[in-house]
Structure 1
Amino acid sequence: MNDFNSIVFWKNCNQEKKQNILLRPAISVSKKISKKVADIIETVKKYGDDALIKFNSKFDNFHEKNLRINPKKISYSKNFLNKSIKDALLVAMENIKKFHMAQKISPISIEIKPGIICEQFFRPIESVGIYIPNGSAPLFSTVLMLAIPAKIAGCKKILLCSPPPIGNEILYACEMCGIKDIFQIGGAHSIAALAFGTKSVYKVEKIFGPGNIWVTEAKKQVNYQFDGPAIDFFAGPSELLIIADSNARPDFIAADLLSQAEHGETSQVLLLTPSFSLASSVLKEIKKQIIFLPRSLIAKKALKNSLLIITSSLQECINISNQYGPEHLSIQTSCPRDLLKEVKNAGSVFLGKWSPESAGDYASGTNHVLPTYGQTATHSSIGLLDFQKRITVQELTKKGLHKLSSTIECLALAEKLEAHKNAITLRLS
């Protein structure tokens, strides 16, 4: 659709049209961009800090040679922020910390059978890299979302990269979280530095954080290399799907849709409702509210990717939502919890008219780094476990091994792995 004036009736669409309606905006990485990203990665691997300084100058018009932020600058950042923003960050930090602390999983130790004990425990990933976007919308809230679980998990080395110049809000959020290794580098070259290391930047084992097409492509390429790091997932563009009934507030819904549309031109927002009257009212509210948004031009372009869909029932809304698998799912109905049990695929769910998506973006406590583009079918929001690894243990007594020996020997022989069998037979002979 060319604008947000169209209302689609789901029952009037054939299967092909329904599939096309639920397609995300095409985010294609051209061969040209892939090649440039590959060249950037190889240049950083070869020339290290010199390459990073060169790319900072080329891409961000930033000419300082010191890549690492001076600790004094981090400490001084609080002097440039007013009390209200510092207080707000503190509240957000406390809520996010409380929710992620609750995600700790106790070790498991179970005697499977007499003489056979199996255990499971968790250890932190030793070193992690955090990428924080810093363009038209510097996402200092993402510092909290990534640094807090990394700290709780016990990661010993936490590096943060963000395009220069890094604002005081980001620096202060880092100080609150105890992040000291902050590097003023962005884009694909920062991902390369985190992935393979330079004289200044420590090589990490896993990279987290959203970014533009260059950052995402770099994360993909370093992850595919044999000696490259793990990554969280490919995040973006932002998505919001709202399910609403005739009792929902049109002004609330319009505000929520616009809150995601302003993220970027390729964002996508959807409203699913059985009420034509509600959809019409939401459309009027969007046109009224968008006028006053500083990022209205961005939001208008995002709305070209977006839809108002009239369904036959709330159950059909849920079915469509599960097929789409939104990053954010808002359920604004009279009894939202009745629909929650039907949700299969979603990054984060917001129940009721008093739970705007903005709450999760900043301060309710849940994490706002979420899978997009249908990845919710297999991926979850960032949480404590993403910064940890699971280790299992088994301990057998002589009696326990003896009771299990015939089973192991039988299976080993069936797989034609004689040495496996011999490791049992030798002990019992």
Structure 2
Amino acid sequence: MWREVGIQDWVRRRSSGLLSARDAVEEIIGMVREGGDKALFDLTERFDKLRLDSLLVTDSERDAAYGQVDERIIEMLVEAEARISRFHELQKPKELWLEEVEEGITLGMKISPLDRIGAYIPGGKAAYPSTALMCVIPARVAGVPSVCCCTPPPVHPLTMVALDIAGADEIYQVGGAQAVAAMALGTETIDPVQKIVGPGNIYVTMAKMMLREHAEIDFPAGPSEIAILADETADPEYIAADILAQAEHDPHAACLLVTTEAGIADAVGRHLIDQVAGAKRAGIIAEAMENAGYVLVGSLQEGVDIINQAAPEHLSIQVADPMRVLSGVRHAGSMFVGPYAAVACGDYASGTNHVLPTAGYAHMHSGLDVLHFCTRSQIQFIGREGLESIGDIVETLADAEGLYAHGDAIRIRRRPR
């Protein structure tokens, strides 16, 4: 039902619901910690109704998957891989930089890839080859030497092909919170990883958050969401199409229009009715529309303030002067500017990453990128002249903190020899 909403109400409706999964996830983590591979087989039989002989997808199974996927789709996956790789190559920082900031002091940074990461690729009833590309490619571009991927069984051939094209080193047919636990803790078959990335349901996301002591994560990623900021120049038919594109993801998807024009909001409502009538996933969309609505604002600046408060996963900017709006937006996972920048472009082929923070986590997290797979080490070269220039500062502050050995480490070096 398309209706005017308050921003606070909309924010509450798109809550992640993670806490409801805590007890079940805690039990699953304990089973994997104690049982290893056996627990994974048992949990797969319980949740996926499959009895597996092995967890690892073999090279022959990868090769066979190509024969089960239409050649045209494979060509498009290869093209998408190239575009996603191109964008992420542009993100790569210098591996090493050094700058002499004053005589005797040279500072710098060294960027190093992680040794081994894990990617969770949703699956089961559907295939998400695009997510396979999005998770693996930035890790590969960053130079991570070992990329492990888990996805629910039976692994869809399309997902398998996408993971192979993206460059996954290992593919395991295990899903849910148990897959996250396996990658974080390790089992007899799956070696532990340093970081786990990728979207999933509330059980997957809760497992990621509960296991951060063992493996870092990208960010919480739950049901999809979109916010659109529109003025009188926006096309309501395009807006409605973008809303439905996100609504068809999940019954819990959240959609918000922020506009200065009541007429635009009304027109979007009419187009939604027309487009839903022919939608193939109309049932899911109908549920998701319970989490949808619009907010009328007196100015675009007021609209920008609401967008920053909402911190949406996807932000579509449909206004006459987009650069002015763009400069004011601080919190959004990915921004799509102009009438032809459909959010679906970023889902598949523009090259930007579609693994993004949801449920307001864009306030504090950025979407998946190359830097998620790197560590950054600070460097300092300090000569005699440099030590003299900062010695008094270090000694004074160290003594003020009562850390006298810190000061002595400087005083000893400054003595005549």
Matched, 1:169 2:158: yes
Matched, 1:82 2:70: yes
Stretches of structure 2 lacking an aligned partner (at least 5 in a row) = none
- Structure-2 change in CA distance of 1:100 and 1:29 (3 Å): closer
In 1, Cα distance between the equivalents of 2:388 and 2:301? 55
In 2, Cα distance between the equivalents of 1:245 and 1:340? 14
Deviation at 1:18, TM superposition (A): 4.6
- Structure-2 change in CA distance of 1:397 and 1:389 (3 Å): same
Alignment partner for residue 149 of structure 2, among 124, 142, 160? 160
Paired letter, 1:103 = Q
In 1, Cα distance between the equivalents of 2:146 and 2:319? 45
- Structure-2 change in CA distance of 1:73 and 1:21 (3 Å): closer
Matched, 1:7 2:4: yes
Paired letter, 2:276 = I
Matched, 1:303 2:303: no
Paired letter, 2:191 = Y
Alignment partner for residue 343 of structure 1, among 318, 322, 329? 329
What residue number does 2:259 align with?
273
Which string of whole-angstrom CA distances, capped at 9 and with x for unpartnered residues, describes residues 184-223 of structure 1? 0000110110001001001001000000011011111111
What residue number does 1:355 align with?
341
In 1, Cα distance between the equivalents of 2:366 and 2:7? 26
In 2, Cα distance between the equivalents of 1:382 and 1:297? 30
Which string of whole-angstrom CA distances, capped at 9 and with x for unpartnered residues, describes residues 113-172 of structure 1? 211111101000111000000034322101111111101111111100000001111111
Checking the alignment, whether the CA contact within 8 Å between 2:10 and 2:291 is kept in structure 1 is: no
Deviation at 1:341, TM superposition (A): 1.4
- Structure-2 change in CA distance of 1:405 and 1:316 (3 Å): closer
Matched, 1:180 2:186: no
Paired letter, 1:161 = C
Matched, 1:327 2:313: yes
Checking the alignment, whether the CA contact within 8 Å between 1:24 and 1:373 is kept in structure 2 is: no
In 2, Cα distance between the equivalents of 1:22 and 1:206? 29
Matched, 1:148 2:148: no
Matched, 1:385 2:371: yes
Secondary structure at the aligned position of 1:23 is classed as helix
What residue number does 2:52 align with?
64
In 1, Cα distance between the equivalents of 2:295 and 2:414? 69
Secondary structure at the aligned position of 2:391 is classed as helix
- Structure-2 change in CA distance of 1:339 and 1:52 (3 Å): same
- Structure-2 change in CA distance of 1:86 and 1:114 (3 Å): same
Q: What is the TM-score when the length of structure 1 is the normalising length?
A: 0.93
In 2, Cα distance between the equivalents of 1:415 and 1:47? 49
In 1, Cα distance between the equivalents of 2:231 and 2:19? 41
Aligned length: 414
Stretches of structure 1 lacking an aligned partner (at least 5 in a row) = 9-16
| Mean CA deviation greater in 331-340 or 84-93 | 331-340
What residue number does 2:392 align with?
406
Checking the alignment, whether the CA contact within 8 Å between 2:7 and 2:306 is kept in structure 1 is: no
- Structure-2 change in CA distance of 1:109 and 1:69 (3 Å): same
Deviation at 1:372, TM superposition (A): 1.2
Show the 5 A alignment for 1:186-201: 186-201=175-190
Secondary structure at the aligned position of 1:7 is classed as coil
In 1, Cα distance between the equivalents of 2:35 and 2:146? 23
Checking the alignment, whether the CA contact within 8 Å between 2:228 and 2:316 is kept in structure 1 is: yes
Checking the alignment, whether the CA contact within 8 Å between 1:327 and 1:372 is kept in structure 2 is: yes
In 2, Cα distance between the equivalents of 1:364 and 1:27? 28
Alignment partner for residue 29 of structure 2, among 30, 36, 41? 41
What residue number does 2:86 align with?
98
Show the 5 A alignment for 1:274-289: 274-289=260-275
In 1, Cα distance between the equivalents of 2:304 and 2:22? 37
CA-based RMSD of the aligned residues comes to 1.5
Q: What is the TM-score when the length of structure 2 is the normalising length?
A: 0.96
What residue number does 2:127 align with?
138
Checking the alignment, whether the CA contact within 8 Å between 1:269 and 1:307 is kept in structure 2 is: yes
In 1, Cα distance between the equivalents of 2:257 and 2:8? 16
What residue number does 1:11 align with?
none
In 2, Cα distance between the equivalents of 1:408 and 1:220? 39
In 2, Cα distance between the equivalents of 1:294 and 1:137? 15
Secondary structure at the aligned position of 1:201 is classed as coil
Secondary structure at the aligned position of 1:235 is classed as coil
Checking the alignment, whether the CA contact within 8 Å between 2:124 and 2:154 is kept in structure 1 is: no
What residue number does 2:14 align with?
25
Which string of whole-angstrom CA distances, capped at 9 and with x for unpartnered residues, describes residues 251-306 of structure 1? 21111000001111111001111222221111111111112222111111111011
Checking the alignment, whether the CA contact within 8 Å between 1:71 and 1:180 is kept in structure 2 is: no
What residue number does 2:113 align with?
124
In 1, Cα distance between the equivalents of 2:295 and 2:388? 64
Alignment partner for residue 365 of structure 1, among 336, 351, 373? 351
Which string of whole-angstrom CA distances, capped at 9 and with x for unpartnered residues, describes residues 320-375 of structure 1? 11111111000112332232112111111101110000000111011101111111
Deviation at 1:180, TM superposition (A): 2.9
* Deviant stretches of 4+, over 6 Å: none
Deviation at 1:179, TM superposition (A): 1.2
In 1, Cα distance between the equivalents of 2:326 and 2:130? 27
In 2, Cα distance between the equivalents of 1:50 and 1:22? 41
In 2, Cα distance between the equivalents of 1:257 and 1:137? 21
Deviation at 1:402, TM superposition (A): 2.9
